[in-house]
Amino acid sequence: MFFGASNGVGILPTPNSGFRTFHPVVDQDACIHCNLCWIYCPEGCIEKETGKMVVDMDYCKGCGICANECPRKCISMVKDGEQDE
């Protein structure tokens, strides 16, 4: 059995249970696909799908590491409920 997101890394054995306050929003137009967000995500919930970086919100815990590591600052942390995912 894999724990975490679909790629089998991370520590959340089940989907996010609602404790997250912020979630990442990726500016796909500014993203250069350096994959640093994917590398540093502790839950492994970022995937590259059809040329876009997509966050699996079921497993994202909202830590903000992806936004902090992004060299282009393409990822912003938005309070849950304030912007559509």
Number of domains observed in the structure of the chain: 1
Instruction: Give the pLDDT confidence score for residue 2 in this predicted structure.
Output: 37
Burial of 37: CB neighbours in 10 Å, binned 0-12, 13-18, 19+ = buried
- Find the domain containing 48 and state its range: 1-85
Q: What's the CA gap between 66 and 57, in Å, rounded?
A: 13
Tokens in use for 27?
Answer: 């500016």
pLDDT tens figures, 1-38: 334 445 555 555 666 666 788 999 999 999 999 999 99
Q: Give the domain CATH number at 67.
A: 3.30.70.20
Instruction: Give the pLDDT confidence score for residue 10 in this predicted structure.
Output: 54
Q: What's the CA gap between 41 and 10, in Å, rounded?
A: 8
Instruction: Give the pLDDT confidence score for residue 24 in this predicted structure.
Output: 95
pLDDT tens figures, 30-76: 999 999 999 999 989 999 988 899 999 888 999 999 999 999 999 99
Q: Decide if 48 contacts 54 (C-beta within 8 A).
A: yes
